Amino acid sequence: MKQTDEKKPMEMEVLSDETRAKLKAIATRIDELNSQIKELQQEAYDLVPKHTFDECREMKCIHTYRNCWDCHRSCVRRKGEMGNLKDYYYEKKPVFKPRVEYPMLGWKQVATRGAKWKGEWHGFHKVIQETEKTLLLDDAWKTRLFKSTIFTLEDVIYIKDRSGTTYFCADDPATLDMQVTLLAVANREWCERNCRLVTPMLETPDTSYPSGLEQREGETKEEWENRIFGE
């Protein structure tokens, strides 16, 4: 007669009275320690004056600079946060920038090099506002030109937007071709100047770092061939 193997059902272990008593004692001890921890946290909390985010920002904490960061969650100065022991307050150092006086351009409209195609000029943008530092254009993106980017080529003023696109005055259509030509000549000279600097470096390989294929000092030709091509 064939015997069948039956799996014995699992049975939960029985906890002894001694084990239960120890568990209860441990739980009581944990409660006591947690109570002591809370007392210590409260003592630490009362040691340092607490502040809100707005108060820390007013006191120029670097973690609140331009509202980019909130106070560190572990900062001991954080109001309402219990158990924090580290001080993360750091005052942002003031940066003094000299005041720069930019000229008032008085431009009515501006153009870029890409505004000319098929021999004709198109796509001028009106200047709807000029401030001490910027020009605001009446385009779909309300592009802002920054006077800090102003540069001149033969007394012609050029200005750039945040992406680096160069604009120039389009109030007098007769001067547009001349302004584009000056800009193209300056760009070509810049390219040629950089080519003169870079080309010698490309033509002269850097041999300061050996490739490992050269014959080593004291190595015979046979040893070199065996090392490179194998025996």
- Do both 133 and 192 map to the same domain? yes
- Do both 87 and 168 map to the same domain? no
Q: How many C-beta atoms surround the C-beta of residue 207 within 10 A?
A: 8
For residue 134, give the amino acid letter. Answer: T
Q: Is residue 6 part of a domain?
A: no
- Do both 72 and 26 map to the same domain? yes
- Do both 71 and 142 map to the same domain? no
For residue 221, what pLDDT band results from cuts at 50, 70 and 90? confident
Helix (H, G, I), strand (E, B) or coil at 61: strand
Domain extent at residue 41 = 21-95
For residue 4, what pLDDT band results from cuts at 50, 70 and 90? low
Give which of 54, 50, 86 is closest to 70, Cα–Cα. 54
Reported in sequence order, the residue ranges of 119-169 that DSSP labels E, i.e. its strands, are 120-121, 125-130, 134-137, 144-153, 156-161, 166-169
Q: Is residue 27 part of a domain?
A: yes
Q: Is residue 70 part of a domain?
A: yes
Helix (H, G, I), strand (E, B) or coil at 203: helix
75 or 203, greater pLDDT: 75
- Do both 71 and 129 map to the same domain? no
Concatenating the DSSP letter of every residue in 181-203 gives HHHHHHHHHHHHHHHHHHHHHHH
* Position 19 pLDDT exceeds 90: yes
96 or 213, greater pLDDT: 96
User: Which pLDDT belongs to residue 230?
Assistant: 63
206 or 11, greater pLDDT: 11
Q: Is residue 1 part of a domain?
A: no
- Do both 85 and 131 map to the same domain? no
In the chain, how many domains are there?
A: 2
* Position 55 pLDDT exceeds 70: yes
Q: Is residue 224 part of a domain?
A: no
Percent of the chain with pLDDT over 70: 90
Please write the tens of the pLDDT for every residue from 154-212. 889 999 999 889 999 999 989 999 999 998 898 888 888 888 877 776 666 655 555 66
